[in-house]
Amino acid sequence: MDKIKSIKQRFEIIGNDPHLNRAIGKAIRVSPTDISVLVTGESGVGKESIPRIIHQLSLRKHGKFIAVNCGAIPEGTIDSELFGHEKGAFTGATSTRSGYFEEADGGTIFLDEVGELPLTTQVRLLRVLENGEFLKVGSSQVQKTNVRIVAATNLDMSKAIQKGKFREDLFYRLSTVEIVLPPLRERNGDIHLLFRKFAADFAQKYKMPTVRLDEQAQKLLERQQWHGNIRQLRNVAEQLSVLEQDRAIGVESLELYLPDHNTRLPAIVPSQSGGDSDFSSEREILYKVLFDMKSDLNDLKQLTMELMNSTNTEQVRSDNESLIQKIYGEKQNQPERLLTSTNETNSYPKNTDNNFDYAEEIEEEETLSLIDKELELIKKALERNNGKRKAAAHELGISERTLYRKIKQFDIDL
């Protein structure tokens, strides 16, 4: 226990939960060997501390310790990142590059989120575990490496194996020793200890007094499910430290910073259905949603442009015809102004834009020009409707937008 206590102090691990102590004890005992270790547990439980303990207590402590987040590296480049590549191996490979396994030779490599590795990369990793050999991308020359591999995952590996997303032989090679870290909700006695540590750290960081919970607030804190685990608790402590003016925190204040419902976030929820359509990670879900949205947006843009082009053309034609018909409709008792017979139509030029025939020459004292008559009608309609454009446009049989354009064109004062 003294050894475990000193390790917790050295690596700033807070808590006295028996499951936590057991995990640290296993890390201490396995450190002097070169056995591969798999650390499992939910996201946010502090899995990254175990590989550092193993490395610092091993004979490799003077070698390099390289941590790799496998879920953050794109599938197309992860082989190059881990194993390196030769010049010209692919587009953009302008020089030879060493990978993490070559750089970590003689040390320890920590593969975080190892369950996210593509199957092709899993085959390469299995070869390293079995005989310490690997090939650079684009090379046929076998290289040797002497590294200790510690991996971590928050996935249910048995389900990943059943779905064919993770190789069973690789799993057994990685998990020679498996260290399980318990979720925070199973460490009730450690929750307030962790909160006090975070509150003290933030008080020092932001140069302010430390926030403290009363007894009822402590009990509320311990009843929470904490599906975000230590990371979520740390966020709550930081918010309270920064936002609350009163340094004594009661239940009412604390409740404002806790989730309304103790439900898991989509990225943390393990699949219950086991169906083939389930996604193994949040990244796959996001990629699918983004690609679908992009496709839908392109279709919407194309449809919108087609509608705008067709609608604008037909609307302008309809508005112009309605206005012209309105103008000549008031003079339907003057047959010389409207040409309705075939003979009369052939005697005068035709306005092909509006498909409406009218006389080109009419005695000046008996008629106004089309523009003047249009202006007169618009003014009268506006006067009858007390300047209300919508009502005037309805009376004229045109759209409000067309009427607004005509008002600006003729500079009509309302």
Q: 198-239 pLDDT, tens per residue?
A: 999 999 999 999 999 999 999 999 999 999 999 999 999 999
In a shared domain, residues 208 and 91: no
Question: Which CATH number characterizes residue 236's domain?
Answer: 1.10.8.60
User: Do 47 and 65 sit in the same domain of this protein?
Assistant: yes
Q: Which domain holds residue 45?
A: 2-182
Looking at residue 1, its pLDDT comes to 77
Say yes or no: 69 and 211 in one domain: no
- Give residue 12's pLDDT: 92
Specify the amino acid at residue 332: Q
Residues 17 and 164 in one domain: yes
H helix runs in 224-272, sequence order: 229-243, 251-255
In 218-336, at which residue ranges do the beta strands (DSSP E only) sit?
A: 248-249
Alpha-carbon distances, residue 42 vs 189, 227, 407 (angstroms):
19, 8, 68
User: Do both 198 and 173 map to the same domain?
Assistant: no
pLDDT score at 354: 45
Q: Looking at residue 392, what is its pLDDT?
A: 83
- The reply to whether 79 falls in a domain is yes
State residue 67 phi and psi, 5-degree precision: -100, 130
Same domain, 156 and 207: no
Q: Is residue 289 part of a domain?
A: no
CB-count burial class (<10 Å; 0-12, 13-18, 19+) for 379: middle
Domain boundary residue, one of 117, 149, 182: 182
**275-331: pLDDT as tens digits:** 444 444 555 566 556 666 766 676 676 767 766 665 555 565 566 566 656 555 554
Q: Does 14 fall in a domain?
A: yes
* Same structural domain, 60 and 7: yes
Give strand ranges (E) for 311-382: 350-351, 356-357
CATH number at residue 30: 3.40.50.300
Looking at residue 113, what is its pLDDT?
A: 96
Co-location of 12 and 58 in the same domain: yes
**Low-confidence residues in the chain, pLDDT < 50:** 261-280, 331-368
Q: Is residue 330 part of a domain?
A: no
In-domain check, residue 49: yes
Count of domains observed in the chain: 2
pTM summary value: 0.62
- Please tell me whether residues 22 and 137 are part of one structural domain: yes
For strands 350-351 and 356-357, give the pairing: antiparallel
Please name the residue ranges forming H helices in 330-369.
342-347
214-218 LR contacts (CB < 8 Å, sep 24+): 214/248, 214/249, 214/250, 214/251, 216/250, 216/251, 217/249, 217/250, 217/251, 217/253, 217/254, 218/192
Residue 95, both tokens: 């020089």
Asked whether residue 160 is domain-assigned, the answer is yes
Residue type, 403: L
Question: Are residues 164 and 251 both part of a single domain?
Answer: no
Domain boundary among 182, 198, 216: 182
102 and 216 co-located in one domain: no
Residue 271 lies in a domain: yes
175 and 255, same domain (yes or no)? no
Looking at 133, 162, 182, the residue that finishes a domain is 182
Q: What is the pLDDT of residue 289?
A: 63
Taking the C-alpha atoms of residue 83 and residue 98, their distance in angstroms, rounded to an integer, is 7
At residue 285, the pLDDT reads 60
Residue 92 in any domain: the answer is yes
| CA–CA distances in Å: residue 201 to residues 195, 197, 204, 220 | 10, 6, 5, 22
Q: Distance of alpha carbon 382 from its chain centroid, rounded? A: 53
